């Protein structure tokens, strides 16, 4: 497993803890790290796309265009109103396994997050993860590539970008 993938799992755990307990929100998050250590993070629901298939194509596009070494995607999982979890997976380009992290979210009577267990970390085959295929080459039309390129250029100035360093 690439060092960035391990670090990303720790960082996303902290990020979600701060978002949930500090701000009361649990967005769908996507982040990637390229070979230079540049990290980009944004909320998936901010993508101006109607369907999941197009969102996944866009995510695959930026993973491939940035030659990512790893990426992560996370979300809130609601089993029942009183049984909620934050779950994310970190996918490494060169490893058959992925890191899946899961923590139980506790809410008060007003539905505000008040507690988050420690994230349990498990290694699973990345082929078993629904979005674990973003490193696989995709075929897009020239117009779709241009649309995705201009959207990414527009987004880059508005999203979290930092260097994890080498």
Instruction: Copy the structure tokens of residue 81.
Output: 């109103």
pLDDT for res 114: 92
Contacts for 84 with CB less than 8 Å, ≥ 6 apart: 76, 77, 78, 104, 105, 107
* Percent of the chain topping pLDDT 90: 82
pLDDT for res 82: 83
How far apart (Å, rounded) are the C-alpha atoms in residues 75 and 112? 17
Range of the domain at 28: 3-163
How far apart (Å, rounded) are the C-alpha atoms in residues 64 and 18? 29
Mean pLDDT value across the chain: 92
Domain count of the chain? Answer: 1
Average pLDDT score over residue span 113-120:
96
Work out the angle at residue 77's Cα, subtended by the Cα atoms of residues 110 and 2, and round it to the nearest 5 degrees.
130
pLDDT tens digits, 63-76: 999 899 999 999 99
pLDDT band at 124 (very low <50, low <70, confident <90, very high): very high
Q: Which of 127, 164, 165 is closest to 31 using CA atoms?
A: 164
pTM (2 decimals)?
Answer: 0.92
pLDDT tens digits, 71-110: 999 999 999 888 999 999 999 999 999 999 999 999 998 8
How far apart (Å, rounded) are the C-alpha atoms in residues 116 and 86? 9
Instruction: Copy the structure tokens of residue 2.
Output: 């690439």
């Amino acid at each position: 497993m690439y060092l960035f993938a391990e670090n990303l799992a720790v960082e996303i755990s902290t990020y979600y803890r701060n978002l949930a307990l500090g701000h009361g929100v649990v967005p769908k998050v996507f982040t990637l790290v390229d070979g230079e250590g540049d990290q980009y993070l944004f909320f998936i629901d901010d993508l101006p796309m109607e369907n999941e298939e197009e969102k996944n194509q866009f995510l695959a596009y930026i993973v491939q265009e940035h030659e990512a070494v790893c990426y992560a995607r996370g979300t809130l999982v609601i089993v029942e109103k009183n049984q909620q979890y934050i779950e994310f997976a970190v996918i490494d380009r060169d490893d058959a396994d992925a890191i899946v992290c899961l923590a139980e979210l506790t809410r008060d009577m007003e539905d505000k997050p008040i507690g988050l267990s420690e994230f349990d970390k498990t290694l699973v085959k990345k082929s078993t993860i629904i979005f674990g295929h973003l490193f696989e080459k995709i075929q897009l039309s020239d117009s779709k590539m241009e649309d995705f390129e201009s959207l990414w250029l527009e987004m880059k100035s508005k999203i979290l970008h930092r260097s994890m360093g080498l």
